């Protein structure tokens, strides 16, 4: 795996080498590396997912880095395929444009712009837009559709080139990608380079405290290298001539926040919520190992419960399927060692039907299989969506089937 995985030796935010392993998570394959029938007999490597905490700044991170070219160059997900995301970004553009009085012809730069869905809403407001995204085919199509997109990773060097060609950006945005970059210091340097003195950088990421409180440890997978909290992040930005001045919490991805950053000395006053969230993190002990040790015990208790249940039904000769084939499912299946307890997976995404799951190569079938093969037990691996899944398939339950929801505690619906 020499060119596949590398190992980081220093903290992404403060460069310290003083780490403690705080969340041991069993290795898994790359979470969305589904394969066709022709490759289901070929092994796929298992890559460490352990999370370490920097004992100097408190930042939590994965030190084992999958080559980003392998993760992102052939990325296939398109923002525009999700009606919910399109509407989210429409409102996002309205809120930011109004809240910061962005004038027509202002430059808006997006890091990880995907197919340009968000930038298109800013272009409709008569602004100049520039995307940056490493997914080669998606970037090409975005450019052809009128959203100019550089097919590459965002770096300080690229930021300097865009500044030279187009001038400073009034707005830089990065949505659910600020956790993906290994070289965050270089990204921050690039943002400081391209950002206008009165401009703002807006980003959305999962919030570490919500990952703990909402039990969404399965959002830990190889695309996510950083698990952000406010105190380490605030100090990181300060070190790079930037100032985190406001935060808005939201419910997406099990609990996230939208951060607002300006250049040091910029016009925005720091909102009280920044200090309040840092105080809450300190009170909860978020930047010390004990909270994670307690979390791990809860995670293992749930693992014991679901394995005991599945061993019992397996001994009774019952068939067991898993519902869900998303990126979080790989982490859950491998950390809970469920893959040899399941006969196949069920998913509503037709693009995955007939493919085989990463590593353990369980076939993905449509939900109609509930009424055709009638599995005795279905483990809802996409447990955050258990309510709509169970609600949609009441007929399966009435026919004698069982749904098992593994988290945040074992629940059987029959």
The pLDDT score that the predictor gives to residue 1 is 47
The pLDDT score that the predictor gives to residue 86 is 86
The stretches in the chain having pLDDT less than 50 are: 1-2
* φ/ψ (deg, to 5) at 137: -70, -40
Alpha-carbon separation of residue 166 from 154, 183, 401 (angstroms): 16, 24, 60
Peptide bond into 119 cis (omega under 30): no
The pLDDT score that the predictor gives to residue 349 is 87
The pLDDT score that the predictor gives to residue 284 is 97
Contacts of 34 (CB under 8 A, 6+ apart): 325, 352, 355, 356, 357, 358, 364
Rounded CA-CA distance 152/149 in Å is: 9
Question: DSSP letter at 258?
Answer: E
Asked if residues 257 and 304 have their Cβ atoms less than 8 Å apart, the reply is no
Q: What pTM does this model have?
A: 0.93
**Using CA of residue 112, residue 179, residue 32, residue 302, what is the dihedral sign?**
negative
Q: How does strand 320-323 pair with strand 345-346?
A: parallel
Residue ranges of domains in the chain, CATH in brackets: 317-413 (3.40.50.720)
If you write DSSP's letter for every residue of 272-314 in order, what string do you get?
HHHHHHHHHHHHHTTTSTHHHHHHHHHHHHHHHHHHHHHHHHH
Q: How does strand 411-413 pair with strand 402-405?
A: antiparallel
């Amino acid at each position: 795996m020499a060119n596949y995985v590398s190992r980081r030796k220093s903290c992404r935010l403060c460069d310290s080498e003083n780490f403690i392993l705080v969340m041991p998570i069993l290795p898994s394959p790359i979470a969305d590396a589904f394969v066709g029938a022709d490759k289901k007999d070929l092994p796929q490597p298992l890559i460490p997912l352990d999370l370490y905490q920097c004992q100097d700044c408190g930042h939590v991170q994965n030190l084992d880095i999958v080559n980003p070219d392998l993760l992102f160059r052939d990325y296939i997900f398109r923002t525009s395929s999700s009606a919910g995301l399109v509407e989210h970004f429409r409102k996002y553009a309205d809120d930011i444009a109004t809240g910061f009085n962005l004038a027509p012809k202002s430059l808006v730069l997006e890091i990880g712009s995907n197919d340009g869905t968000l930038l298109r809403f800013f272009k409709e407001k008569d602004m100049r837009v520039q995307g940056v995204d490493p997914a080669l085919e998606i970037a090409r199509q975005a450019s052809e559709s009128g959203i100019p997109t550089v097919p590459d990773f965002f770096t300080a060097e690229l930021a300097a080139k865009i500044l030279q060609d187009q001038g400073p950006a009034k707005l830089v945005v990065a949505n659910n990608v600020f956790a993906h970059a290994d070289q965050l210091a270089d990204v921050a340097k690039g943002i400081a380079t391209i950002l206008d003195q009165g401009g703002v950088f807006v980003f959305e990421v999962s919030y570490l405290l919500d990952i703990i409180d909402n039990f969404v440890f399965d959002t830990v997978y190889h695309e996510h290298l950083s698990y952000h909290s406010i105190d380490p992040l605030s100090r990181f930005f300060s070190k790079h001539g930037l100032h985190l001045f406001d935060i808005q919490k939201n419910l997406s991805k099990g609990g996230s926040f939208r951060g607002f950053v300006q250049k040091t000395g910029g016009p925005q006053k720091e909102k009280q919520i920044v200090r309040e969230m840092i105080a809450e993190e300190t009170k909860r002990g978020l930047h010390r190992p004990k909270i994670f040790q307690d979390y791990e015990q809860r995670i293992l208790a749930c693992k014991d419960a679901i394995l005991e249940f599945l061993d019992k039904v397996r001994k009774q000769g019952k068939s067991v399927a898993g519902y869900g084939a998303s990126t979080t499912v790989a982490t859950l299946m491998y950390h809970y060692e469920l893959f040899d307890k399941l006969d196949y997976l069920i998913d509503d995404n037709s693009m995955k039907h007939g493919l085989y799951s990463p590593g353990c190569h369980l076939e993905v079938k449509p939900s109609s299989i509930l009424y055709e093969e009638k599995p005795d037990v279905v483990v809802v691996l996409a447990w955050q969506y258990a309510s709509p899944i169970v609600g949609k398939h009441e007929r399966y339950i009435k026919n004698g089937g069982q749904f098992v929801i593994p988290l945040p505690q074992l629940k059987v619906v029959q």
